[in-house]
Structure 1
Amino acid sequence: MKLHVHQKLVRLLIVCGVLHLSAAHAQQPVKTVKSNALSAPAYLEIPLGNIRPEGWLRHQLQIMRDGTTGHLDEVYAKVKNDNGWLGGRGDGWEETPYWLDGALPLAYLLDDQALKTKVRKYVDWVIAHQRPSGYFGPLTKAEREKGVAITAANCAEGEDWWPKMVMLKVLQQYYMATGDARVITFMTRFFNYQYKALQQCPIGKWTEWATSRGTDNAMIAQWLYGITGDPALLRLAAMIEDQSFPWSHWLGNRDWVIHAAAYQDDRDWMHRHGVNVGMALKDPAIQYQRTKDEKYLQYLETGFNDLMTLHGLPFGMFSADEDLHGNDPVQGTELCAIVESMFSLEQIIGITGDIQYMDALEKMTFNALPTQTTDDYNNKQYFQIANQVQVTRGVFNFSLPFNREMNNVFGMRSGYTCCLANMHQGWTKFASHLWYATPAKGLAALAYSPCSVTAKVGAAGTLVTIREITNYPFEDSVRFELSATKATAFSLQLRIPSWCEEAVIWLNGQRLRTEKGGQVITVNRTWQNGDRLTLQLPMEVKVSTWGRNSRAVERGPLVYALKLQERWEQGTDEKEGPYFSVYPKGDWNYGLLQAQVKDPAQLTVKQVKPVTDDFVWNIAHAPIEIVADAKKIPGWRLYNDVAPTPVTEREGVYKGKVNDEVEQITLIPYGCTKVRVVAFPVVK
């Protein structure tokens, strides 16, 4: 593989030869490869650091910087001690790359020099210690003990492909932030080595994790092809896919997801492991990108819809405890599965431009993600439960119970520590994918949160900055304020979510137009410095149906759960360290009245407090409440420490004993809760 790239590389975005430069590095032209070998992307990623989080989102990232994301290497012995990715004998597998996969983008999103310095030392070590053959990673046993030089001919002396796939993602992001030309040279040399080595040391030689997750490897090879144009990279990507699990085929052909729903034994469990599935969601899109075969887009749609139908839960995610485990609201979901599914959706959006995945990303982010970590981002739950009326030690009805019963509590090291290392990519990559560039040199806002974006747009490459001023997802207004060095014509694309019946667009205080939901619209004009565009997305209260005939209350991208005051208790496990249990203060065994389920407009929405720049996803900061009428179900009690959903008839009404008294209950955003009911039975 030859390197066909100008050596004075700058911060940029290159996908299939299309680029957008940041303000700081816009002066130098870059030669890029123009090729039609890959399918034309719907949207292009914007260089890391050109999107700046603001408001509540910036505060969330600051919490992470001050907590484990910024300091995992100081507080977690496995990463801290003699790290293999810095030349030591310690962690040389996935956890250090996992951590960097979130910590590195955080450093550039916040422009935090101390964190940049911290993560840069790992990047520098990895690049500086690439072997002459192109192999990279921690020093292997053979290298240490025998002085072996690893080459493609003796690739068996190397180690697992899987953690290298994660480190390649780290290096890609570093390049997107800095334009450091060493990354292109490094990847070119490694992929040359891998192309030769895979013929003797296939992707699954060391672990089935690599066989499960080869798509991440192929994705980076195809990204590099967009820069160098070396056709061997596409052959490599195809070889990796051929040696990996056939996820696209499984997603598009329903036997796989049906079997995953039916069986929970130890046969083929890697095929239904929730984190593997979350990573695999992007496989059809990556295959489509390389082959241009539209069957892969159908595989993606079929697989995603089947997955969410058979295993979907009200908070926008599928069960994964650790395996796919059906749609009962007392099943669990692993934190790693959430952040990997989010990243897959972000890649799918760029390749396909399909709005259903944009809607899915927001729902997953604003509901599933925030509830599974503590306010300080120092403790996490390995598995969360939708109807989680208490957080305690126990076995529960999970497919992976653990003997120490620590998979549901909040702790730094509770459950497996893969999530402690991997959780950091969730918020950071969401923040870096709020905006995309368009092939026509415009901009697209496809997920909403307070932020700003800087890019060159239009035929003349005019530098613009757009501030996105909003308290979304808690409010229905998103305001865009444009700063430009001169008037410039470009297209601005805006997503109108599928849950929105009709959006209203305002330009400089004047009503511009209305648009139906479920589409991405385009506003074409010559934009002036100081232009203001406002997107109004009316949020109606709706009721959705979930497993065991339960109902959930939704408004906009948010799902609402029963507000329960919390009692926290701290404990210590001999092996997994300190942890927290959480118990409710008050009753939780309520059913929603059928009349309000049929007519959600009867539910009362109240703004109870403003969303400030110090917002935290917890009860104290919950800005919106929905008041509903309910009746208590006295027979709905804990069983094996969970709250199995009461059985209902076809009509969806619980027929057991129900109290006569109608009570008003308060619902708050699911992401602000730790104990809750979100999937309610219905009563008369």
Structure 2
Amino acid sequence: MYILRVALLVLGIVVLTSFQSFKVEEELYTFVPDVYQELPLGSIKPRGWLLQQLQIMRNGSTGHLDEVHPKIARDNGWLGGKGDGWEETPYWLDGAVPLAYLLDDAVLKAKVLKYIDWTLRTQRPSGYFGPLTKDEREKGIHITTDHCESGEDWWPKMVMLKVLQQYYEATNDLRVITFMTNYFKYQMKTLKTCPIGKWTEWATSRGAENELVIQWLYTITKDKALLELAGLIESQAFTWSTWFGNRDWVMHAAANQTDQNWMTRHAVNIGMALKSPAVNYQRTGDSLYLRQLKTGWNDLMLLHGLPMGIFSGDEDLHGNDPTQGVELCAIVESMYSLEKIVAITGDIHYMDALERMTFNALPTQTTDDYNNKQYFQIANQVQVSRGVFDFSLPFDRGMNNVFGLRSGYTCCTANMHQGWTKFATHLWYTTPAGALAALEYSPCELKTKVKGQDIRITEVTNYPFDDVVSFKFATKNAVAVPLQFRIPGWCKEAGISVNGQKLRSEKGGQIITIERTWKDKDILTLHFPMEVTTSTWAKNSRAIERGPLVYALKLEERWEKGNEPTEGDYFSIYPVGPWNYGLTEEGVKKPVEHYSVVAKPMPESFVWNQKNAPITITAPARRIPNWKAVDGVAHQPVTNRSNVYQGEVGKDVETISLIPYGCTKVRIVAFPVVK
């Protein structure tokens, strides 16, 4: 009966009044517009290998998680049932919604729209929304601003707000604006009684997710009370900006692995929190927040950074040893934070960081069909199997390292879908002055309007494997529009040409602007020469890099299928052949002379795996006989100040092959150096 009463009440919902009844301390807020503004969802269409990746996801778990994952499939709370009303359904939608519109897939659109429509339809008259609560079901209590305690945790709603924002950007469905206005007024009235951390610390640690959507709505409605609401949430949430800036936090996180304050070093919380200083800067205009962000990011990567561009987190921050793991959720959330940081700050440093994380850390942690995921990946991963390894959260079942649909926590089963999809939506931005900006590179097509005129720019490239990116223009009439491009920090000097004629050269590590009147069939080409280099990591180890990619030892793989009663089917993977190599000192010092690059054509159907790897680097190395795995962990051999391993090494110099890290499952990426 109560469900019926809720439905009847919903039919009578009226738009709540604006926030103007709240006094806003305007002097606290100097809102700073995005340096780079996002384009509407659907403006960018993936092409080439990126399209194939998204199609794999559509055919795999992203397109069918509601059918194969019991937690979402059974009596879903976000459809009015008694099942999942927590984070996993919104997590899945947070990737499935952009995928549906990137691929313009009618079936997937219809599937996700069921959840969106139910959420929009069942908003309570007070503005509260979400699955029916225990008090609503069992006591018939109406959730009002006077009875906010009958609601449930703020956290899952934060994710659903991101889902609704993306849906609005794709469709301009004005129901979303009304819905959010109503909900944020409810929050303003109730947060002092039911603060952000009333139910769990998950909401307290992730307040920036809520603030980000509030500030997005402000850009549409210009209601300054929204900024007050965002500031109120910030005052109740974890003080990430202060922690990032004062340096004590990251050092304590490195030293402490107890159960005390573990939420403050939980890697996924940190991945989300990276955007917090940028969100605060946007709301206030206080540049201190940008300095705090820079300090926090640099310290995080110095003390906990791994060669593939992400910090350790298994589940807690756990230092920079290459035998530490990282949770898949931490990667996709850090990517999203970097995408938002890029938009707000325009800082190329974070653009380069996003590129490194995406092309190295992300692809290795899912299977070719996108139906299985690995909860924790390890940088130097010499086997994938059940075990405790060196993780801060090993679990008694030892399932955190294997590949499976439900292995480890299923948060990543639901959350992994936003990684590639949101990256695809952030390849291009626009600026307040009307420029178009290509800040990340992958094959795609941009359709937009410039001065009221349709323009299509097709980005033709096999980047990050190839060093050439071409932009082909299609426009009925010539159009003058400035174009901005990122010259990656790893590139010494880029070449720019138009229609086959050299335009100019530019140094790496900057954003360049090309002002020109573009005609139909014009072609602009960027050339980013990729040189083989080495970088230094923990325990005096070295990684081999070329352009945006990090390279790892190519090892043949032996897969074994198993089953665990609670977590279902899973896969273990073991190397075939030796892995215990050290790079020769001479090669590390002069990589251009000693390392060879072999490229092959991109396969017609590309998957991030060993078979399809289009680039191989060969390097001289020697075996280290005493470097052996202990309980599946390949602890780094000790070196002295000369950075050279002093123990016994093989007498023969061998030639080893390395492939892009993202194409591997078992590997060595951080190598000792030997004579």
TM-score range, shorter chain: over 0.9
Instruction: Give CA-to-partner distance per residue, 1:106-145, whole Å, 9 cap, x none.
Output: 0000000000000001000000000000000000011111
1:194 aligns with 2:194: no
Establish whether residue 393 from structure 1 lines up as the match of residue 410 from structure 2: no
* Secondary structure of residue in 2 paired with 1:453: strand
Match of 1:550 among 538, 541, 551: 541
Kindly provide the CA deviation profile for residues 216-254 of structure 1, in whole angstroms up to 9, marking residues without a partner as x. Answer: 000100000000011110000000000000000001110
Equivalent in the alignment of 2:503: 512
Partner secondary structure for residue 192 of structure 1:
helix
Residue matched to 2:263 = 270
Q: Distance in 2 between matches of 1:671 and 1:579?
A: 20
8 A Cα contact 2:595 2:620, kept in partner: no
Superimposed CA distance per residue, residues 8-38 of structure 1 (whole angstroms, 9 cap, x where no aligned partner): xxxxxxxxxxxxxxxxxxxxxxxxxxxx941
CA distance in 2, matches of 1:616, 1:636: 32
Selected match of 2:128 from 111, 126, 135? 135
Partner of 2:602: 611
- Pair 1:155-2:148 in alignment: yes
Instruction: Supply the distance in 2 between the matched residues of 1:277 and 1:291 (Cα, whole angstroms).
Output: 22
| Distance in 1 of aligned mates of 2:362 and 2:602 | 19
Deviations 1:554-579 (A, max 9, x none): 00010000000000000000111000
- C-alpha distance in 2 between matches for 1:558 and 1:482: 28
Instruction: Indicate the residue corresponding to 1:567 in structure 2.
Output: 558
What are the superposed Cα offsets for residues 170-207 of structure 1, whole Å, 9 maximum, x if unpaired? 00000000000000000000000011010100000001
- The residue identity in structure 1 corresponding to 2:356 is K
* Matched letter for residue 435 of structure 2: G
Q: Deviation of residue 2 (structure 1)? A: 4.5
- Distance in 1, matches of 2:344 and 2:206, equals 19
Paired residues for 1:208-223 under 5 Å: 208-223=201-216
Equivalent in the alignment of 1:172: 165
Q: Partners in 1 of 2:305 and 2:351 — Cα distance?
A: 17
Question: Distance in 2 between the 1:86 and 1:672 partners?
Answer: 38
Give the partner amino acid of 1:497.
P
Q: Is 1:468 aligned to residue 459 of structure 2? A: yes
**Pair 1:305 & 2:298 matched:** yes
Q: Is the 8 A contact 2:596 2:619 kept in 1?
A: no
After TM superposition, list the pairs within 5 Å mapping 1:518-667 onto structure 2.
518-667=509-658
1:350-389 paired onto structure 2 within 5 Å = 350-389=343-382
Residue 481 of structure 2 aligns to a residue whose secondary structure is: strand
Q: Distance in 2 between matches of 1:499 and 1:608?
A: 20
Q: Which residue number corresponds to residue 33 of structure 1? A: none
Distance in 2 between residues matched to 1:274 and 1:421, nearest whole Å = 17
Give the Cα separation in 2 of the matches to 1:610 and 1:441: 37
The alpha-carbon deviation at position 603 of structure 1 amounts to 3.6
Deviation string 1:332-384 (CA, Å, 9 cap, x unpaired) is: 00000000000000000000000010000010000000000000000000000
CA deviation map 1:488-544 (0-9, x unaligned): 111100000000000000001100000000001000011111110000000011100
Cα deviation, residue 608, structure 1: 4.0
Which whole-Å CA distance do the structure 2 matches of 1:314 and 1:368 have between them? 9
Which segments of 5 or more consecutive residues in structure 2 lack a partner in the other structure?
1-15, 20-28
Aligned match of 1:108: 101
Contact kept, 8 Å, 2:428 with 2:440, in 1: the verdict is yes
Counterpart of 2:58 (choices 62, 65, 70) is 65
Residues 553 and 579 in structure 2, CA contact (< 8 A), matched pair in contact too: yes
Query: Aligned pairs, how many?
Result: 651
- Maintained 8 Å contact 1:609/1:621: no
Note the C-alpha offset of 1:411.
0.6
- 1:289 partner SS: helix
CA distance in 1, matches of 2:86, 2:598: 47
> What is the match of residue 480 of structure 1?
471
Q: Is the 8 A contact 1:603 1:626 kept in 2?
A: no
Q: Distance in 2 between matches of 1:605 and 1:124?
A: 55
Tell me the amino acid that sits aligned with residue 590 of structure 1: Y
SS at 1:440 equivalent:
coil
AA aligned opposite 2:283: R
* Equivalent residue in structure 2 for 1:410, among 400, 403, 411: 403
Q: Distance between the aligned counterparts of 1:147 and 1:289, measured in 2?
A: 41
Q: How far 1:463 moved relative to its partner?
A: 1.7
Q: Superposition pairs for residues 17-36 of structure 1, below 5 Å?
A: none
Name the CA distance, whole Å, in 2 between partners of 1:89 and 1:432.
34
| Mean Cα deviation higher: 132-141 or 460-469 | 460-469
Following the alignment from structure 2 to structure 1, what is the Cα–Cα distance between the partners of residues 322 and 329? 19
C-alpha separation in 2, matches of 1:259 and 1:636: 31
Tell me the CA shift for residue 422 of structure 1: 0.2
SS at match of 1:64: helix
**Preserved contact between residue 605 and residue 624 of structure 1 (Cα < 8 Å):** no
How big is the shift at 1:613? 4.1
Secondary structure at 1:504 match in 2: strand
> In the TM superposition, what is the alpha-carbon distance from 1:602 to its structure 2 partner?
2.0
Work out the CA distance in 1 between the residues paired with 2:598 and 2:365: 24
Give matches, 1:226-245, under 5 Å. 226-245=219-238
Contact 1:563 1:676 (8 Å CA) reproduced: yes
Shift of 1:152: 1.1
1:290 aligns with 2:280: no
Secondary structure at the residue paired with 1:621? coil
SS in 2 for 1:494: strand
TM-score (norm 2): 0.96
CA distance in 2, matches of 1:582, 1:262: 32
Inter-partner Cα distance in structure 2 for 1:92 and 1:605:
53
* Aligned counterparts of 1:568 and 1:186: Cα–Cα separation in 2: 49
* 1:433 counterpart = 2:426: yes
Q: Is the 8 A contact 1:43 1:353 kept in 2?
A: yes
Aligned residue for 2:9? none
Whole-angstrom CA distance in 2 between matches of 1:37 and 1:297? 15
Q: Are the equivalent residues in 1 in contact too, given 2:436–2:484 (CA < 8 A)?
A: yes
Q: TM-score, normalised by structure 1?
A: 0.94
Q: Aligned equivalents of 1:438 and 1:228: distance in 2?
A: 20
Contact 2:587-2:595 within 8 A present in 1 as well: no
Aligned-partner Cα distance in 1 for 2:595–2:321: 28
Does the 8 A contact of 1:59 with 1:613 survive in 2?
no
Distance (Å, rounded) in 2 between the aligned partners of 1:482 and 1:330: 47
Question: Do the aligned residues in 2 keep the contact of 1:2 with 1:230 (CA within 8 Å)?
Answer: no
Residue 653 (structure 1) shift: 0.2
- Equivalent-residue separation in structure 1 for 2:474 and 2:271 (angstroms): 38
TM superposition outliers: structure 1 runs of 4+ over 4 Å = 1-4
Q: Give the whole-Å Cα distance in 1 for the aligned partners of 2:94 and 2:336.
A: 11
User: What residue in structure 2 maps to residue 51 of structure 1?
Assistant: 44
Letter in 1 for 2:469: V
Measure, in 2, the Cα distance between the counterparts of 1:612 and 1:289. 43
Describe the SS at the equivalent of 1:668: strand
* 1:120 aligned residue: 113
Q: Which sits farther off after the overlay, 140-149 or 335-344?
A: 140-149
CA contact (8 A) 2:609 2:663 kept: yes
For residue 502 of structure 2, give the secondary structure of its aligned residue in structure 1. strand
The answer to whether the 8 A contact 1:391-1:582 is kept is yes
* Structure 1: segments with no counterpart, 5+ residues: 5-35
CA distance in 1, matches of 2:175, 2:593: 60
CA positional deviation for 1:3: 5.6
Give 1:438 shift.
Answer: 1.1
Query: Per-residue deviation at 1:648?
Result: 0.4
In the other structure, the counterpart of 1:419 is 412
